Amino acid sequence: MRDSLPVGLEQLLGAAPRLGPLARLGLRTVGDLLFHFPRSYEDLTDLRPIAALTSGALQTVQGEVVEMDTRYLNDGGFVVSVVLNDGGPRSLEGAWFNQAHVTRRFRYGQRLSFSGKARWQRDHWQMVGPRVQILDPGVDVSTPGIVPVYPLTEDLRPDHLRPLIGRAIDLHAPSLPEVLPEELRQRHGWPGVLEALRAVHFPSSLEAAERGRRRFVYEELLLCQLALALRRRETRDRRSAPVLAVTEQIDARIRRLFPFPLTGDQDRAIADVCRDLASGRPMQRLVQADVGAGKTAVAAYALLVAVACKHQAALMAPTEVLARQHAATLEGYLANSRVRRLLLTGALTPRERRAALDALKAGEIDLVVGTQSLVQEGVEFARLGLVVIDEQHKFGVQQRARVRRLGADPHYLVMTATPIPRTVALTVFGDLDVSLIRELPPGRQPVATRWLSEAERDRAHALLREGLEQKKQAYVVCPLIEEAEGLDVKSATRTYEELRSGPFRGFRVGLLHGRQDDATKADAMARFRAHEIDLLVCTSVVEVGIDVPNATLLLIERAERFGLSQLHQLRGRVSRGAAPGLCLLFAQPAGDEGRERLRALLRSTDGFALAEEDARLRGVGELFGSRQHGAGELLVGARDAGLLDVARRDAFALVDGDPELRREEHAGLREAVWRRYGETLELSEVG
Ligand code: ADP
Ligand code: MG
């Protein structure tokens, strides 16, 4: 929508262009301006004389400025006050704290309207920081109406922005294309483009504004879901992939390799995978599992099926540390097998790397483990059957499009790092089939999570020491590597120095962070795994996937700096063994949201519940994965989650009935989908 009006803003601004403030909001074209939607609305329809004000409710008053002054407070601050009178017995004071510029905006005798919540102050009414409208002389606004509240920068005022948007609507909105087919608009009762834009920016009621906004949200979601439906057709339904069929014998042979029986959920995920692998169509499956539920075993099973069926299989991990761990795990399972294995990391010399790539290309390797480097140019396979992408929360559709170019249509299995909110599952991963693993392996002990105060630091150290003395291991996670200037954040390096010379003298303390070279990282991890290190001070490099069951103690510094799912991931590091884990948090959250996030972590250890809670707390468009799709910010909020299902159903039904959107009534949709997603989703340009 926004991109269908690339007309520069100079045109609208006339004689004195003030593009700067608009550009700071990212507004460059008429399209940008029309789709700069209000953050919220204020209902200023309750207009009253000052004498009829009541306390508490949002009310609007019109009057004349009879007094302006500035009072200084004991704490060095000041209050600017502007007093209105409307001819009645009482007056209304507008009060602003520490905002000198307020007085400059108004003058004596000027007619203003104040909207806000009033409170009675001894002998007059007061509104703190009321919304002000300057009324033209002689004109009374009988209904001030519903006023949109825009995201603004300091140098752009609403009374500048609104006329500009009004002009943009009058001049340009009528030429916007109607993308939604008549049938869908009727079915859902959506207003047309022009009507909806007017309702959003100049609403006659809150309901009309909301209906207008939702029309555009629906449109965004529909386009996104159409793109996903089309991509799914292309990557799955219209392509073929090797038939990798599991016989009973293969199944039994693979299961024997695991040192444990699989859980029910692992078995169900494996059954899904096996069905896909044997279907002749490329598998496009997402395994969503809670942290520690045992995704690796599912991945290993799938990889070994491919190898048993005489195809090559690749496992991609997000970091070198994790790639090594997976290689080691597979090594353990396959110690006596003839499966030819390769670990492709940055640590190979150029010569070793070339030899490895030659072997892959010649088909002399069955199973390769690596990082993103597996999708680099120059990596070719003889007969790639399966790619497993492990521990991803950010491996969106675009990145997968890149992997697809690896070779001729292998099967794909994507594993999330933590459960993701449903909204993300349906957008970022919306072209995939999903298997869930909620069940944890038997015998797991819960992790006790505690948020400690600074005064309890010594006690925290004592708790860790106690654990270490019982031959357990511990992580101490810090948000930064080195001390950042001006930021009082505990760095890993400094903490490492402090702990090993102070409270943990006599224990073996190690350091692991993202800026070490790969060999140093690998060494630290290997020593921790071998229990040659008792306590590992690290950054969130250990966030993902690290599996050391003997490590059951975790201390997180400045926990407020991590996201909720990241914290859940981190905590997952100490819930892998049979002994109960302990997770200690130090945090200084600045706002309510930060506090809520930490409380959620204390309350629940269920990753699926935490993912939804995280979505609720953050609650905005980014969650819907627009970033990953490169489509710019969607105008979508958490309250629109229900619309996502509606749009998804409509989109998949549309593509079922009209697989390439060739019908005339779908021309607008088709155009919009390809413009927005054609490239990033590699939709083929048919027609
Ligand atoms: P994640 O799903 O977080 O990647 P992992 O695959 O690393 O989890 O598994 C976590 C731990 O659970 C590992 O130590 C693994 O050996 C163990 N595990 C996995 N499946 C089972 C099972 N069915 N029974 C017992 N332990 C298991
Ligand atoms: Mg894992």
pLDDT number for residue 625: 41
542 against 427, higher pLDDT? 427
> Ligand 1 test: best mutation among 296, 330, 445, 447, most atoms within 8 Å of CB?
296
Side-chain-facing half-sphere of 227: CA atoms under 13 Å? 28
State mean pLDDT over 474-485. 79
Atom number of ligand 1 nearest to Cα 437: 2
pLDDT number for residue 270: 98
The response to whether residue 297 sits with its C-beta less than 6 Å from ligand 1 reads yes
The response to whether residue 447 sits with its C-beta less than 6 Å from ligand 1 reads no
Q: Which residue, by CA, sits nearest to atom 10 of ligand 1?
A: 292
End-to-end CA distance of the chain: 22
pLDDT number for residue 628: 39
Enter the pTM of the model: 0.77
State mean pLDDT over 216-225. 91
Atom number of ligand 1 nearest to Cα 261: 23
The response to whether residue 263 sits with its C-beta less than 6 Å from ligand 1 reads yes
At residue 136, what is the residue type? Answer: D
The response to whether residue 576 sits with its C-beta less than 6 Å from ligand 1 reads yes
Looking at the DSSP bridge assignments, the partners of residue 69 are: 81
Look at residue 265 and tell me whether its pLDDT is greater than 90. Answer: yes
State mean pLDDT over 376-389. 87
155 against 374, higher pLDDT? 374
| Burial class for 339, CB neighbours closer than 10 Å (0-12, 13-18, 19+) | middle
Lowest mean pLDDT among 394-398, 541-545, 654-658: 394-398
Q: Which residue, by CA, sits nearest to atom 26 of ligand 1?
A: 441
Residues 6+ apart with CB under 8 A from 421: 611, 612, 614, 615, 623
CA distances from 312 to 111, 363, 370, 418 (A): 78, 8, 14, 27
Distance from residue 371's CA to the centre of ligand 2 (Å): 14
Residues 6+ apart with CB under 8 A from 243: 277, 278, 279, 280, 309
pLDDT band of residue 664 (cuts 50, 70, 90) is very high
pLDDT number for residue 519: 86
Are the beta carbons of 461 and 541 closer than 8 angstroms? no
pLDDT cut 90: percent of the chain above it: 52
Q: Which residue, by CA, sits nearest to atom 27 of ligand 1?
A: 441
pLDDT band of residue 319 (cuts 50, 70, 90) is confident
663: which DSSP letter? Answer: S
Nearest to 176 by CA among 323, 1, 437: 1
pLDDT number for residue 466: 96
The response to whether residue 419 sits with its C-beta less than 6 Å from ligand 1 reads no
> Ligand 1 test: best mutation among 547, 550, 565, most atoms within 8 Å of CB?
547
Cα separation of 389 and 413, whole Å?
Answer: 6
The response to whether residue 292 sits with its C-beta less than 6 Å from ligand 1 reads yes
Structure tokens given for 417: 């790092």
Q: Which residue, by CA, sits nearest to atom 17 of ligand 1?
A: 294
Distance from residue 311's CA to the centre of ligand 2 (Å): 24
Cα separation of 213 and 211, whole Å?
Answer: 5
Are the beta carbons of 613 and 602 closer than 8 angstroms? no
Look at residue 193 and tell me whether its pLDDT is greater than 90. Answer: yes
Q: What is the pLDDT of residues 636-648, one digit of tens each?
A: 666 777 888 999 9
State mean pLDDT over 17-33. 78
Distance from residue 323's CA to the centre of ligand 1 (Å): 16
Helices (H), 342-491: 350-362, 397-404, 422-427, 457-469
The response to whether residue 291 sits with its C-beta less than 6 Å from ligand 1 reads yes
State mean pLDDT over 493-500. 93
Distance from residue 463's CA to the centre of ligand 2 (Å): 28
pLDDT band of residue 481 (cuts 50, 70, 90) is low
Distance from residue 138's CA to the centre of ligand 2 (Å): 71
Distance from residue 520's CA to the centre of ligand 2 (Å): 22
State mean pLDDT over 599-609. 93
pLDDT number for residue 621: 44
pLDDT band of residue 426 (cuts 50, 70, 90) is confident
pLDDT number for residue 126: 94
Atom number of ligand 1 nearest to Cα 329: 16
Cα separation of 194 and 173, whole Å?
Answer: 6
Distance from residue 263's CA to the centre of ligand 1 (Å): 10
For residue 318, give the ligand nearest its CA. 2
Atom number of ligand 1 nearest to Cα 299: 6
For residue 300, give the ligand nearest its CA. 1
Cα separation of 565 and 543, whole Å?
Answer: 10
Atom number of ligand 1 nearest to Cα 263: 23
pLDDT number for residue 399: 64
Q: Which residue, by CA, sits nearest to atom 5 of ligand 1?
A: 294
State mean pLDDT over 467-492. 80
State mean pLDDT over 245-274. 96
Distance from residue 257's CA to the centre of ligand 1 (Å): 14
Q: What is the pLDDT of residues 106-157, one digit of tens each?
A: 889 888 889 899 999 988 999 998 988 777 665 445 456 788 888 777 667 7
Cα separation of 576 and 473, whole Å?
Answer: 12
Q: Which residue, by CA, sits nearest to atom 1 of ligand 1?
A: 292
pLDDT band of residue 81 (cuts 50, 70, 90) is very high
pLDDT band of residue 375 (cuts 50, 70, 90) is confident
Distance from residue 435's CA to the centre of ligand 2 (Å): 15
Q: What is the mean pLDDT of the chain?
A: 86
> Ligand 1 test: best mutation among 413, 576, 608, most atoms within 8 Å of CB?
576
Give the chain's radius of gyration (CA, Å): 30
Nearest to 148 by CA among 63, 295, 238, 37: 37
Q: What is the pLDDT of residues 617-639, one digit of tens each?
A: 775 444 444 443 333 344 566 67
